Amino acid sequence: MKKNLQILMVIFLAIFFIAGCGKPEEEDKIKVTLPANNTNNQTNWQIIYQDNIQSVPMIVFEKCYVQADYCTDYGHGTGAVITDNVVVTNYHVAEFFFITEISPISGDTIYYQLYARYPANNKFENNYFLPEKYYVTAVHSITSRDLALLKVTTLNNTPIPFALDNFNDLRTDDPVMHLGYPGFSNFVGAEGKIGDLFVNGEIADWVSSDTKLIEYTSATNRGSSGGPVLNIWGEVIGINFAYYVNNNQKIPFAISIDHLRGYDFANLVFETP
């Protein structure tokens, strides 16, 4: 990687790593986009988008007051179903699950609850959500990679498969699609390609130095964190977690799915508050 790019990343990544924690009041007026088919006919992005609309939930975290028995939407990220009742997202989205504090104004105890929500149908122009809230009941934290596995109630959506190829098999310019919720209501599929592949080093100091990172060009925004990055076969190659800014352009990064290989998802040890 070029020296000047590394310097830019050191400066900007620390500022923008919480790309996934968008707030409702900051709703991005982004319409659903359906990318055109790849010209080499290797894939149909629209089919991949449609196939995954029920397997990529918005992860909502609500701020709740115990004594007042009141909750209000506070923010959101994105997740991906990887096995029955388990969703992967970023730790910086899931960490709200563990926060409890006392309101300095009312003295009321405050906590955050997390739940998953999905679009109700494939009428992309309306994108209404199902009324049910699929609550997160426990979290398996992988803080060194900014990843977390969420145990979610009554969730039986089709898991998204991991890519058979490893990080070392990826190549720059490989076509990809990122799925996520950059606004508080819109499910977006953004087409792009791999820009660079490298091991973290000291670029993103909140994840381990040996973390494998994928730079890609798909458009992302606040609320996209935790969303899957897919290859041309609709398989997950990475999990979005950050972006940096270069010449007013947001350059996103994903954590390689290699760091989730080998996990026994059926026998994970989950944490509760």
Taking the C-alpha atoms of residue 84 and residue 238, their distance in angstroms, rounded to an integer, is: 20
Say what the pLDDT of residue 32 is.
Answer: 36
Say what the pLDDT of residue 260 is.
Answer: 95
Mean pLDDT, consecutive 10-residue stretches, the chain (273 aa), reads: 44 43 41 42 79 90 92 90 93 95 92 85 51 88 96 84 94 95 83 95 90 92 91 95 82 94 89 87
Domain residue ranges of the chain, discontinuous segments joined by +: 3-51+160-260, 56-157+262-267
Say what the pLDDT of residue 131 is.
Answer: 61
């969703």: which residue's tokens?
87
Token readout for 144 is 């060194």
- Inter-residue contact 34 to 49 (CB < 8 Å): yes
Give the three-class secondary structure for 8: helix
211 Cβ contact partners less than 8 Å away, ≥ 6 residues apart:
144, 145, 199, 200, 204, 255, 256, 259
Provide CATH code, domain 56-157+262-267: 2.40.10.10
- Inter-residue contact 215 to 197 (CB < 8 Å): yes
Say what the pLDDT of residue 74 is.
Answer: 83
Beta strand ranges found along the chain (DSSP E): 58-65, 70-78, 80-83, 86-89, 100-102, 109-117, 134-142, 147-152, 175-180, 188-199, 212-216, 228-230, 236-246, 249-256
């990080």: which residue's tokens?
167
Equal fold, 3-51+160-260 vs 56-157+262-267: yes
Q: Is 144 exposed, middle or buried, given 0-12, 13-18 or 19+ CB atoms closer than 10 A?
A: middle
Say what the pLDDT of residue 244 is.
Answer: 81
Give the three-class secondary structure for 169: helix
73 Cβ contact partners less than 8 Å away, ≥ 6 residues apart:
24, 60, 62, 184
Token readout for 121 is 């149908």
- Inter-residue contact 227 to 52 (CB < 8 Å): no
Taking the C-alpha atoms of residue 61 and residue 68, their distance in angstroms, rounded to an integer, is: 18
- The CATH fold assigned to 3-51+160-260 is Thrombin, subunit H (2.40.10)
Question: Which amino acid is residue 183, in one-letter code?
Answer: G
- Inter-residue contact 261 to 239 (CB < 8 Å): no
